[in-house]
Copies of this chain bind each other. A is one copy, B any other.
Amino acid sequence: MSKIEKVVLAYSGGLDTSVIVRWLQDTYGCEVVTFTADIGQGEEVEPARAKAEALGVKEIYIDDLREEYVRDFVFPMFRANAIYEGEYLLGTSIARPLIAKRLIEIANETGADAISHGATGKGNDQVRFELGAYALKPGIQVIAPWREWDLNSREKLMQYCEQHKIPVDFSSGKKKSPYSMDANLLHISYEGGNLEDPWAEAEEDMWRWSVSPEAAPEAPTYISVGFEQGDPVSIDGERLSPATLLEKLNKLGGANGIGRLDIVENRYVGMKSRGCYETPGGTILMKAHRAIESITLDREVAHMKDSLMPRYAELVYNGYWWSPERRMLQAAIDESQAVVNGEVRLKLYKGSVSAVGRRSADSLFDERIATFEDDAGAYDQKDAEGFIKLNALRLRIAAGKGRKLI
């Protein structure tokens, strides 16, 4: 490691990353550049400017990345129907490569030789940030304070603030949540606290983005989502930008108690971890995307996508967005999506979302053939005999030679 002159820090403006600013300045004697992004976490980002200035930061980046985030990260991932371990919609994972990319862009602009972040040494986020950074700028140095320092409790952090006169903002009077939370336009996550017992039910007041199904309206809400080339482009016929559309789906989903998830997942670093997630819009979008694919995708393409999906989801979860193998899979997935156009009608009701209708100019659904009524010769039922006979041939030969299956 050579001497570090300047480091770009992913800065939230909160206590932890404020401590990191000072700690980097003190420990490495380097200049700190802060980078704060609005990716839809639901908090103002502008206040981070004053806080950074108060810490002596001279180069301050504050970006609204919401549209880029949804357009270039969330939507491509949803084209793959990516679900990690059968349940998780990858809401945290997919935000990290964008942050990594901006950190590196800013390092390039400011001539920084290192990046830093506030992720712990036990989690997936450190991996996602750092793999992305190394992949985009191989000579970059990475400082991960949580893996280096010994400020591993809230008390020690507070003490450090006091010693170093870091202004701690308690004016908001907000009680510190017992959970470790993370949010962006796709979801909000909860870990820690009483969730560390996987048998304990999450407390109702933990959830922030959705009402409980019990508290949701008594009447269902119907919406329709329009798709073009695999991406959603409209709600109820109204064309919306990616971020606006996802935001609207979040509101609709949240109001109907949709998108809560409580799981134990396997982290890339090797441990199991309990997490709760609210992904209201994403949950609706997943259902809608599958439904529009159901009438527009060829069967074998759909099955191939399903067989590739777990690998794709694993790549995203593990932090390999910026990798040639993700690009390779994406090429296959994107190739399949040109025909994924049309409209899906959905019913939202007290925690669940159902597809109740789907239509498309690119539909492969053929009523003439599918019908139970007379199909006027569109399909010759006699073809089925040969189809079955030859598909059975290898099994018949084997059975004829004494192979047993029972």
Contact = CB atoms under 8 A, between A and B. Distances in A.
B271 A381 contact: no
Interface in A108-166: 120-122, 126-127, 130-131, 134-139, 142, 144, 146-147, 152-153
Contacts of A295: 198, 264, 272
Nearest to A347: B201
11 contacts: A130-B388, A134-B392, A139-B400, A200-B357, A264-B365, A271-B370, A274-B365, A298-B398, A299-B394, A331-B334, A331-B335
Contacts of A126: 384, 388
Contact of A381 (B120, B291, B332): B120
Interface in A367-384: 367, 369-372, 374, 379-384
Contacts of A264: 291, 294-295, 358, 365
Interface stretch (A47-55, A233-241, A348-356): A348-356
Contacts of A290: 86-87
Interface residues of A, number: 131
Nearest to A133: B392
A352 B369 CA distance: 34
A387 interface: yes
Contacts of A383: 121, 385-386, 389-390
B394 A131 contact: no
Identify whether the interface residues of A are mostly helix, strand, loop, or mixed.
mixed
Interface of A: 81, 85-87, 101, 120-122, 126-127, 130-131, 134-139, 142, 144, 146-147, 152-153, 180, 191-192, 196-202, 213-214, 218-220, 260-266, 269-274, 290-291, 294-295, 298-304, 306-307, 310-311, 314, 320, 322-325, 327-329, 331-332, 334-336, 339, 345, 347, 349-352, 354-359, 362-367, 369-372, 374, 379-401, 403, 405-406
B323 A405 contact: yes
A336 B314 contact: no
Contact of A135 (B273, B299, B396): B396
B304 A395 contact: no
Contacts of A367: 196-197
Given A138-B398, A199-B359, A352-B352, 17 more contacts: A85-B294, A86-B306, A127-B384, A134-B389, A134-B396, A192-B372, A202-B356, A214-B219, A263-B294, A271-B397, A272-B365, A298-B403, A307-B311, A328-B336, A331-B334, A362-B401, A364-B401
